[in-house]
Chains A and B, each alone.
Chain A
Amino acid sequence: MQQISLQPQIEIAGSGLATLDFGREGMFGGRGIGSRSQINFSDSSLSFGVAQRMYRGAIGSFTLGGVAIDEANSGHGKQVFMHQAFADFQELRFEGYIGRTNTPTAQIVEFPTIREDDLVDYTSVLNPFSNGANPEEHRYSNVAGIVFNGDLHHFLNVHAQHQIDSAGVGQSDSGLNSVGISFQYEGNPALSTIDRFPSYGFGLESRAINKSFGGTSNVFYGGGVLNLQPGLVDKLDLRLLGQVSFGNDTNTLTTLNDTYRADQESIALSLRKLYSPFGKPASQIAMTAGMKRYSKVPNANSYGVALSYGKNLGQGFDFVSQLGYERRSSGMTMAFGGHSDALVLQFGLSFNFGSTFNQSIGPRRSPTNLLHQYIPN
């Protein structure tokens, strides 16, 4: 290849999040098996990216990053999960990417719980191959995707994934165990708190599960954000994700993997009140709730709820707290080690930052690019 002489743009972004958790026996969301009181630094992450302009206005980039895993959930020395390692090529109408990154099914809606996988049983499209030890397996996968867009607002994502098969229930060792297609609308980022529908999307994913574990599982999912009270200072929004999975014959729930794989219907909703005077988020309070039922398992349903509060203490630095509760019916408790409910109270601090060096590339969906003719630099 050619000699590397042009300096790439370099980005470093991270999020530090540490909470003191007080919990009753049980498991909240994907977190805290055994849920003792603990100091929890999971979801802290650090990512590093390089980007360079390519011929004809394209941009090439590579991102590498890791996220800390709940200490209680993983073995010794396995506290960091590589959640990003992907190469990306994009130009005006097309984007192609390959590697480890957010699973396309996780990109439709983000919920305002303090960690990405709080209430993960409702707020994410679950990975039916996961054994449950590591909730990051629901959010990240090995994926090859191509994305076509119209006017940088409408995105069609066609992808194949190798979802992490920690439960060993995949149909083959071919490497690809999931294919899907999703559609997403993204409004102007400048109007994300003003547009009535700033973003929404839906998709279909088909997962190849071994017949002895109930066979193929398909999931249809959709959701979006609705600004109930648009505004730049005081705003209230509603987030919604609904999903229906079908095609798998599992009819008893004895392991956590069974609960991800069996046919189910679920819905997650959150109501968030954000106060941001002078264009800066100052505080946020949110109520997130989810519920689900299993269509082929008798007496199997659950619900969970989280009340979250965050207060900004300065640039990127927040105080966070959350009270979470989850309850499961008798058909589900065996899979959760006999626990029918969980309660957890968390207090902590979070620090989010991002810095760009040797800047030479602008974001593709900048307000100028969205309003006017696109240029990559």
Chain B
Amino acid sequence: MSKDKPSENNEETLGRRELLKLGGIGLGTGLMGNAFGQQGHRATAQQQVSQWPSAFDPLETHPPYPPRDRPKPGEKIHVHDIEVTIEVHEIVPGVQTHMFMFNKSYPGPEIRVKEGDWVQINLKNSSPEFHTIHWHGIMVPMEMDGVPLGTQWPVGPNQEFRYLWKAQPAGTHFYHCHVMTTLHQQAGLVGSLIVEPKEPDIVQKTFPYKREYTMILSELDTNFVRNMMSEMVEMGVQMERMNHSAKMMREMNGKMMGWFKSKEEFVKAVKNGYIPPYLAARTGTAMPITPNYFMINGKSYPMTDPLMIRRDENIRVRLIAGGFMPHFIHLHGHDFWHVCQDGSPLAAPVRMNTIPIYPGTTSDIVIQGTNPGFWHFHDHSDLCTTNNGQHPGGMMTMLMYEDAREAGIKWEEVIAISS
């Protein structure tokens, strides 16, 4: 424990103001102006109180830069090459699945840029299916939004597409394929996208940290992915072959894919025996999606990476819901601070020990090293802590103190007793 910290066990007997006095921190304007007045945590840094933003700004959601700007001569552009292929991914030993991958990695490589920087992504599709990339949470110009047949043509096999946008707003975001999202995102096409603020990071200022972790939460139905990928690959392989035949291209336009010029044409085709692809018979599986693996960064427990911490250290954890289910991430033995939601700082940090993460959202939390030991950090929706129905597994990892031994934790004995 650092000396200038109030003792931890006073919480039940002392009110917030008294705590703050014990901590030697005055009631500055920053605290008073705080929207929810929850500035009650007892971290070490004195500057914390005045750093968190206070006033409500009705223009807060405006893009910091005009989204439709284009790079001016001399402006630096960060270029990333991203290739989509089909690879084999191992979730836990013995459980492998074919997946689409960005740069042979699941999740895709983390893209980390500074707010206001130009980012160019060269997407190369080396798979037999169509893909795009949607920049989730980024204020892009419409043409760069990656919605197939909405704002762009999907990128076909062996085609390339160049995305260009300015990184804004700052915060924790992610990117994913937007073609048949149920399959493509579930089957691997998701990655984290961190936009670091141009100004000094408010979270960093309030909770000085050296280490941070990104955790993409996702889930997968191995049977669905296997069946659908086979079906998609089959169609992709056929279309690739048809590209070489004028006869087959005509067939594809007229009678194969179910692309119709008008509603009337579609109705007529159904009358003539066309079975729309959303009928179970066409999807390759007659079953609804039943996820059987739940992952953190593509791995299920016990293969998940632990979060490492030391006493008195702050770590920042960026939680990204990159799947289709809500998760309720719970930390044992600690409370933590929920500091940012969907990239932006909350009006005030919120103290909690279980945070709901809904599909498409991101939540940044700060964990403080206050209780040395080895602690579970997992989805409290217990189905999600299984591997194919077997507990323990799934969306679970450990918060591990590197200095547990110095703190007097005789963990070998604990394990010997409990095992």
> Is there an interface contact between A280 and B226, defined as CB atoms closer than 8 Å?
no
A345 lies within 8 A of chain B by Cβ? no
Known: A233-B255, A359-B287, A372-B87. A190 touches B234 (CB 8 A): yes
Q: A277-B274, A373-B88, A377-B97 are in contact. Are A191 and B248 (CB under 8 A)?
A: no
0 or 1 for each of A265-294: is its CB under 8 Å from B? (1 = yes): 000000000000111101000000000000
* Residues of chain B within 8 A of A372, CB atoms compared: 86-88, 98
Q: Measured between alpha carbons, how far is A363 from B272 in the docked complex, in Å?
A: 32
- Nearest-CB distance from B324 to chain A (Å)? 20
Nearest CB in chain A to that of B274: its residue: A278
Residue interface bits B274-285, CB-to-A below 8 A is 1, else 0: 110000011001
Query: Which residues on A sit within 8 Å (CB–CB) of B272?
Result: 277
CB within 8 Å of A: which B72-112 residues: 86-88, 95-98
Q: Are B252 and A232 in contact (CB under 8 A)?
A: yes
Q: Which B residues lie within 8 Å of A232 (CB)?
A: 238, 242, 248, 251-252, 256
Does A206 sit within 8 A of B, measured CB to CB? no
Q: Bound complex: CA of A261 vs CA of B96, how far in Å?
A: 50
Interface pair B256/A282, CB less than 8 Å apart: no
Give the docked Cα–Cα distance between A282 and B275 (Å): 11
Q: Are B96 and A375 in contact (CB under 8 A)?
A: yes
Q: Any chain B CB within 8 A of the CB of A230?
A: yes
A299 CB within 8 Å of chain B: no
Verify if A231 is at the interface (C-beta below 8 Å from B).
yes
Given contacts A190-B237, A366-B230, A367-B237, contact A278 B86 (CB under 8 A): no
- Contacting residue for B273 out of A231, A277, A375, CB 8 A: A277
> What's the Cα separation between A339 and B242 when bound, in Å?
50
Establish whether residues B229 and A278, one from each chain, have CB atoms under 8 Å apart when the complex forms. no
User: Within 8 Å CB of B258, what residues of A?
Assistant: 278
- Interface residues in B221-262 (C-beta closer than 8 Å to A): 222-223, 226-227, 229-230, 233-235, 237-238, 241-242, 245, 247-248, 251-252, 254-258
Are B248 and A230 in touch, CB under 8 angstroms? yes
Give the shortest distance, in Å, between B68 (CB) and chain A (any CB). 40
Cα separation A155 to B251 with both chains bound (whole Å): 33
Residues 350-377 of A, flagged 1 when their CB comes within 8 A of B and 0 if not, give 0000010001101100111101110101
Q: Does A212 contact B (CB under 8 A)?
A: no
A111 to nearest B CB, angstroms? 25
Contact with B along A172-202 (1 / 0, CB 8 A): 0000000000000000111100100000000
Bound complex: CA A189 to CA B233 (Å): 11
B269 within 8 A of A: yes
Closest to B87 in A: A372
The answer to whether A371 touches B237, judged by C-beta atoms less than 8 angstroms apart, is: yes
Q: Which of B172-226 contact A (CB under 8 A)?
A: 222-223, 226
The CA-CA distance from A367 to B227 in the complex, in Å, is 10
B270 to chain A, nearest CB (A): 10
Chain A neighbourhood of B257, CB < 8 A: 278
* A190 and B273 within 8 A (CB): no
Contact B237 A191 (CB under 8 A): yes
B residues within 8 A CB of A188? 237
A191-B241, A277-B255, A372-B88 known; A367-B234 Cβ under 8 A: yes
* Nearest A-chain residue to B285, judged by Cβ: A359
Q: In chain A between 187 and 226, which residues have their CB closer than 8 angstroms to a CB of chain B?
A: 188-191, 194
- What chain B residues lie within 8 Å of A371 (beta carbons)? 86, 128, 233, 237
Q: Nearest Cβ in chain A — how far from B259, in angstroms?
A: 10
B252 → A minimal CB distance (Å) = 7
| Complex alpha-carbon distance, A79 and B281, angstroms | 33
Q: A190-B238, A231-B247 are in contact. Are A278 and B223 (CB under 8 A)?
A: no
Q: B222 to A377, Cβ gap below 8 A?
A: yes
The chain A residue with its CB closest to the CB of B231 is: A367
Closest approach, in angstroms, between the C-beta of A203 and any C-beta of chain B?
A: 29
Q: CA of A233 to CA of B269 in the docked complex: distance in angstroms?
A: 14
Q: Are A233 and B238 in contact (CB under 8 A)?
A: no
Contact of B226 among A189, A278, A315, A362 (CB under 8 A): A362
User: Are B230 and A362 in touch, CB under 8 angstroms?
Assistant: yes
Select which of A278, A355, A363 is within 8 A of B255 by beta carbon. Answer: A278
A-side interface residues, number (CB < 8 Å): 31
Please tell me which one of the listed residues A233, A280, A368, A377 contacts residue B86 in the complex, with CB atoms under 8 A apart.
Answer: A368
Task: Report A-chain residues with C-beta under 8 Å of the C-beta of B286.
Answer: 355
Bound-state Cα–Cα, A359 to B221, Å: 11
B256 touches A278 (CB 8 A): yes
Q: CA separation between A189 and B230, bound complex, in Å?
A: 11
| Least Cβ–Cβ distance between A210 and chain B, in angstroms | 49
Tell me if A375 and B97 are in contact (CB < 8 A): yes
Q: Which residues of A contact B242 (CB under 8 A)?
A: 194, 232
Any B CB within 8 A of the CB of A234: yes
Q: Which residues of B contact A369 (CB under 8 A)?
A: 98
Which chain A positions have C-beta within 8 A of B128?
Answer: 371
Chain B residues 95 to 135 lying within 8 A of chain A, measured CB to CB, are: 95-98, 128
Chain A residue contacts of B287, Cβ below 8 A: 359
Q: Are B95 and A377 in contact (CB under 8 A)?
A: yes
User: B98, B269, B281, B282 — which one has the most chain A CB atoms within 10 A of its CB?
Assistant: B98
- Complexed CA–CA distance, A369 and B96 (Å): 12
List residues of chain A with CB within 8 A of the CB of B238: 190-191, 194, 232
| Cα of A234 to Cα of B248 in the assembled complex, Å | 9
Whether B98 and A368, one on each chain, are in contact in the complex, defined by CB atoms closer than 8 angstroms, is: yes
In the bound complex, CA of A375 to CA of B86 (Å) = 13
Decide: B251 and A367 in contact? CB cutoff 8 A. Answer: no
User: Are A234 and B233 closer than 8 Å at their CB atoms?
Assistant: no
Give CA–CA (A282, B256) in the complex, Å. Answer: 12
Residues in A55-79 with C-beta less than 8 Å from chain B: none
Shortest Cβ distance from residue B188 to the other chain A in the assembled complex, whole angstroms:
13
A360 touches B273 (CB 8 A): no
- Contacts A277-B256, A279-B256, A375-B97 given: A315-B281 contact, CB under 8 Å? yes
- 1/0 per position for A302-325, CB-CB distance to B under 8 A? 000000000010010000000000
Closest CB in chain B relative to A294 CB, distance in Å: 44
Provide the bound-state CA to CA distance between A366 and B226, in Å: 9
Which residues of chain B have C-beta atoms less than 8 A from A355's C-beta?
A: 286
Residues of B within 8 A of A312 (CB): 273
Q: Let me know if A377 and B226 touch, CB within 8 A.
A: yes
Q: A264 CB to closest chain B CB, in angstroms? A: 40
Q: How far is the CB of B85 from chain A (nearest CB, A)?
A: 9
Cross-chain contact of B223 among A191, A279, A315, A359 (Cβ < 8 A): A359
Which of B230, B248, B281 is the one whose CB lies under 8 Å from A367? B230
25 pairs of residues in contact across A and B, judged by CB atoms under 8 Å = A190-B234, A190-B235, A190-B237, A190-B238, A191-B241, A231-B247, A233-B254, A278-B255, A278-B257, A279-B256, A279-B282, A355-B286, A360-B222, A362-B226, A362-B227, A366-B230, A367-B234, A367-B237, A368-B229, A368-B233, A371-B86, A371-B237, A375-B98, A377-B222, A377-B226
Extra 10 A-B pairs, beta carbons < 8 Å, given A232-B248, A373-B88: A277-B255, A278-B256, A278-B258, A315-B275, A366-B226, A367-B237, A368-B86, A368-B98, A368-B229, A373-B87
Top 9 nearest A-B pairs by Cβ distance? Answer: A190-B234, A233-B251, A277-B255, A367-B233, A366-B230, A367-B234, A375-B96, A368-B98, A190-B237
